[in-house]
C-alpha cells in the first residue's frame, strides 16, 4: 500500500468513525481465517462492520473524532468493530468472545464515553433497537386492545340477555 492509498484509507475511515455510534476494540491473535470469517459474517448480519488495519493508521483515522480517546487500546494485533446501532457490534463481539478464547475484547467507545471490557459487555446485554421498537409497538397496541375488549363486553352481555329472554319466550 503506497502513501496515497494509506492517506485515502485514513480519510475514509475517519469519516466512518465520525458518524458511527459505537466502536469495539479487540485482540484477535490466534484466530484462524475461518474464525475471522465467522466473526465478519456475524457482524454483517447484525449491521456492524469489522476492520483490521495497522494500529498507526487507525490512530491517525481516530484523530479529530469524538472517540480519539481510545487510541491507547491499539497495541498488538487489534481489530475494530463499529455499528450505528449502539448494541449490534458489542453483542456480536461479546458472543464471539464466549466461544473463541483467542478473541479478547479490550474496550471501546460510545460517542465521547470511554468503555472498558465490562462496559462493552453491559452494552451487549441490552436489547437492540429493533427489539426496543417491537416492545414499544406492543405496549402501544395493548391499551387499544384492552379498550376494544371493554367496549365490546357490555354489548356481548346485552346480546346474551336478549337471547335468554328470546329462548324463554319460545319455551313458554
The range of the structural domain enclosing residue 107 comes to 3-126
Nearest to 83 by CA among 139, 19, 130: 19
Q: What's 87's domain CATH number?
A: 3.30.70.1730
The three grid cell numbers given for residue 80, joined into one nine-digit string: 475494530
pLDDT at residue 158, rounded to an integer:
66
Q: Same domain for 95 and 14?
A: yes
Q: Looking at the structure, do residues 135 and 165 belong to the same domain, yes or no? A: yes
Does residue 170 share a domain with residue 93? no
Q: How far apart are CA 121 and CA 27, in angstroms?
A: 15
Q: 43 and 84 share a domain?
A: yes
- 83 and 156 together in one domain: no
Q: Do residues 39 and 50 share a domain?
A: yes
- In this structure, the answer to whether residues 36 and 117 fall within a common structural domain is yes
pLDDT at 68: 86
Q: What's the total number of domains in the chain?
A: 2
C-alpha cell belonging to residue 113: 464515553
115 and 132 belong to one structural domain: no
Nearest of 47, 21, 26, 51 to residue 112 by alpha carbon: 21
**Pair 104, 27: CB distance under 8 Å:** yes
What is the pLDDT, as a whole number, of residue 147?
66
Q: Do 137 and 120 reside in the same domain of the chain? A: no
- 122 & 132 share domain: no
Nearest to 58 by CA among 70, 40, 66: 70
Indicate if 149 and 132 belong to the same structural domain.
yes
For residue 35, what pLDDT is reported? 93
Instruction: Chunk the chain into consecutive blocks of 10 residues (it has 172) and report each block's average pLDDT, rounded to whole numbers.
Output: 87 89 92 93 93 91 88 91 90 93 92 88 83 79 69 69 77 68
CB atoms within 10 A of CB 149: 10
Alpha helices in 19-128 (DSSP H): 33-46, 55-62, 88-99, 117-125
Q: Are residues 30 and 113 in the same domain?
A: yes
Amino acid at each position: 500500500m503506497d502513501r496515497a492509498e494509506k492517506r485515502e484509507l485514513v480519510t475514509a475511515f475517519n469519516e466512518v468513525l465520525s458518524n458511527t455510534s459505537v466502536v469495539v476494540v479487540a485482540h484477535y491473535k490466534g484466530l484462524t481465517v475461518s474464525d475471522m470469517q465467522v466473526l465478519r459474517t456475524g457482524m454483517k448480519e447484525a449491521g456492524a462492520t469489522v476492520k483490521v488495519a495497522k494500529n498507526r493508521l487507525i490512530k491517525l483515522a481516530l484523530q479529530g473524532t469524538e472517540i480519539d480517546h481510545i487510541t491507547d487500546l491499539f497495541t498488538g494485533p487489534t481489530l475494530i468493530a463499529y455499528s450505528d446501532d449502539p448494541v449490534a457490534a458489542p453483542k456480536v463481539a461479546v458472543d464471539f468472545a464466549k466461544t473463541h478464547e483467542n478473541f479478547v475484547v479490550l474496550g471501546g467507545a460510545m460517542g465521547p464515553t470511554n468503555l472498558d471490557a465490562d462496559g462493552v459487555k453491559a452494552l451487549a446485554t441490552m436489547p437492540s433497537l429493533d427489539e426496543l421498537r417491537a416492545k414499544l409497538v406492543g405496549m402501544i397496541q395493548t391499551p387499544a386492545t384492552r379498550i376494544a375488549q371493554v367496549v365490546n363486553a357490555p354489548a356481548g352481555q346485552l346480546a346474551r340477555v336478549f337471547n335468554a329472554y328470546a329462548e324463554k319466550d319460545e319455551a313458554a
